[in-house]
Amino acid sequence: MLDVLEIQKILPHRFPFLLVDRVIDIKEGEYIEAYKNVTIGESVFEGHFPGHPIYPGVMIIEGMAQAGGILAFKSMDAESQEDTKNKVVYFMSIDRCKFRSPVRPGDRLVYKLKVLKHKGAIWVLEGKAYVDGKLTTEAELKAMIVDK
């Protein structure tokens, strides 16, 4: 389990773009489960949509990608993990993306990702997001860890 302070040691993202609050479970090289608490205080709700707040799908995908980045970094060998400050994860593709139901303020958005393929610096992940056990979003994410 990783809290937000430990997550900030791994990811370069900061408020308002750090979209993972906690890692619940992780098995290096295999899967990660993490979450984000979606609150009405987030500035995105000022414009998406006034009077009918919906958490944007692109933010859900970005949160999944950040959880995947944590998985990739934690799956590296100890020596490489020491060098995370000099690395960043870049998206290569987002495939088979589907938005199944809206996410609203007050929801806990649970990200579940599993490794489909890993070769060198390239990771292919199956990502799913849930609220109260109900699938809201799914996608296949491909990313690469590169030097800054």
Catalytic residues: 48
- Six token digits for residue 44: 């995105």
Element at 64 (helix H, strand E): helix 57-75
Measured CA to CA, the distance from residue 117 to residue 123 in angstroms comes to 6
Measured CA to CA, the distance from residue 142 to residue 117 in angstroms comes to 9
- Six token digits for residue 54: 């919906």
Q: Is the separation of the CB atoms in 93 and 122 below 8 Å? A: no
Query: Bridge partners of 27?
Result: 31
- Six token digits for residue 53: 């707040």
Measured CA to CA, the distance from residue 125 to residue 13 in angstroms comes to 20
